[in-house]
Amino acid sequence: MSSQKFTLRELQAYTGLRKGERILLGLNGNVYDVSAGASFYGPGNGYSVFAGRDSTVGLAKGSLLRSNMPGPGDAPTTLDKLSETEKKAVLDWEEKLKKKYPVVGMLVKENPEKEDQEEEEEFESN
């Protein structure tokens, strides 16, 4: 697996809108290159809402609503807030994606040092 790291802000650039551009999708901390599935994930196609995004919650819930996906400045989704049924759906999607598409990286927090510092400051003020 590639060690390339993507924040959600960086990931949003990979939607396939520009000709020849890769289409990347985040799921459960991994980033998949789904360019070979442009007929599904490319602009204007059924799953294009997941292109350039952390699709974990959307796929877990079977939802195409962008409101179910974290925004560019958010942290990547973790499974701890999902129901057991939703977690199973994510694992099923992971299995499907890993069979068809390469994992090209991983999702990371935008600024983990800043977030850790804020948590420390909040703890110290209590």
Band (pLDDT 50/70/90 cuts) for residue 123 is very low
User: What's the pLDDT score for residue 36?
Assistant: 96
User: What's the pLDDT score for residue 121?
Assistant: 53
Confirm if 22 and 35 have CB atoms less than 8 A apart: yes
User: What's the pLDDT score for residue 2?
Assistant: 53
Token pair listed for 53: 């995004």
57-114 tens-digit pLDDT: 999 999 999 888 998 889 999 999 899 999 999 999 999 999 999 999 999 998 756 5
91: enclosing H helix or E strand: helix 84-100
User: What's the pLDDT score for residue 112?
Assistant: 59
d(CA 85, CA 57): 12
User: What's the pLDDT score for residue 20?
Assistant: 83
43-63 tens-digit pLDDT: 999 999 999 999 999 999 999
Confirm if 94 and 30 have CB atoms less than 8 A apart: yes
User: What's the pLDDT score for residue 111?
Assistant: 78
User: What's the pLDDT score for residue 101?
Assistant: 98
Please give the model's pTM, rounded to 2 decimal places.
0.84
**pLDDT at residue 116 is higher than 80:** no
Rg, Å, the chain Cα set:
15
Residue 16's Cβ-side half-sphere holds a number of Cα atoms within 13 Å equal to 22
6: enclosing H helix or E strand: strand 5-6
Confirm if 27 and 89 have CB atoms less than 8 A apart: no
User: What's the pLDDT score for residue 73?
Assistant: 87
Residue the block writes with tokens 């204007």: 44
Residue 56's Cβ-side half-sphere holds a number of Cα atoms within 13 Å equal to 23
Residue the block writes with tokens 């939802």: 63
